[in-house]
Amino acid sequence: MAEQLRVMISSTARDLPEHRQKVMDACMRLGMFYPDMMENLTATDANALGVSLKMVDRADIYVGVFAFRYGYVPEGQTVSVTEAEYNRAVERNIPRLVFLMSDDHDIKPGDVETGDGAAKLANLKTRVKAERVVGFFSSADDLKAQVIQALVPYREHDVTTFHYIADIPAPPEVYIAHPYTLLQTHNLIGRQKELRVLTDWITGNELEFDGQKAPADSIRIMNVVAIGGMGKSALTWKWFNDVAPEEMKPLAGRMWWSFYESDATFCGRDGAALVSVN
């Protein structure tokens, strides 16, 4: 197993708690990236700037998220902690992945800095955009998806770390190429309607969803479509493991393949594939 890469997550904190959590989730989703952020530290007597710069010093990759606040400027300093973190990443010449909040993103008036801080933030953004190709995010979930996409190339040098290389087991034994790890409990709450639709699909019952009906045998592929974060993978993982084996008898085989992982480069940036054969 390859050693995890440390990802320093840099942003203002007060206005972006959800976004920081989503970036952490993206790192955890990809497995080999350890999210380094203030929230993970225990209490310390060191000053915030010193701690932040040490985090950048041990990072393999810097991820910067910039919204509409410049952030805290320590006494005796001329730049904010957030800009100092970016400056240290530049000095170290480590990979820098930068994401800017778009004008389409919903924000609260209190999350917009004014005065000298606003001018410094504008200058920082101008500089960053001149130095890097940046991404623009319109929501926390959009940011998570973009971070996943941006981090993927840094793990492709060792595909075997993420793709379980083994002989495909003889059917009907299940083949799971990449286990789904974000469902922290065995039980899935709700989604009974969607689970029934999947079951009707493979048992031959007429499908009815959102007022539309179709014979089950007319549908060869079932697409579960929703925006990021709605629980598509959790839903299909639950059905794949607990429902399908009971309903699909005799069962010829099952395969689970995640589009987040390994060499599944033909897909979009979200989702997992479920293939059940009877």
The one-character DSSP state at 26 is H
Q: Scanning the structure block, which residue is given the tokens 């973009």?
A: 146
Phi/psi region, residue 270 (left: phi>0; alpha: psi -120 to 50; beta: rest), is beta
* pLDDT number for residue 202: 75
- Rounded CA-CA distance 58/73 in Å is 22
The pLDDT value recorded for residue 245 is 82
The confidence score (pLDDT) of residue 45 equals 44
Helix boundaries (H) for 111-158: 116-131, 140-151
Q: Kindly state whether residues 219 and 140 are assigned to the same domain.
A: no
Instruction: List the alpha helices (DSSP H) in 58-97.
Output: 81-92
pLDDT in tens, the chain (278 residues): 456 799 999 999 889 999 999 999 888 888 778 888 876 544 444 577 888 999 999 999 999 999 999 999 998 999 999 999 999 999 999 999 999 999 989 988 888 989 999 999 999 999 999 998 999 999 999 999 899 989 988 875 544 444 444 456 777 777 777 666 555 445 667 778 888 888 887 777 776 666 677 676 666 777 888 877 777 888 888 888 888 888 777 777 888 877 665 444 444 444 444 444 43
Whole-model pTM over 0.75: no
Position 174 scores a pLDDT of 78
Q: Which of 159, 176, 195 represents a domain boundary (last residue)?
A: 159
Q: Are residues 128 and 209 in the same domain?
A: no
Residue 6, strand partner residues: 34
Question: Can you give the residue range of the structural domain that contains 110?
Answer: 5-159
The pLDDT value recorded for residue 278 is: 36
Domain count along the chain: 2
Residues 52 and 154 in one domain: yes
> How far is CA 80 from each of CA 106, 151, 177, 210, rounded to the nearest angstrom?
24, 26, 44, 51
CA distances from 192 to 184, 197, 207, 236 (A): 19, 9, 14, 12
Quote the pLDDT of residue 184. Answer: 47
149 and 175 housed in the same domain: no
**Which of 131, 159, 187 is the last residue in one of the domains?**
159
Question: Which of 132, 159, 186 lies at the terminal end of a domain, its last residue?
Answer: 159
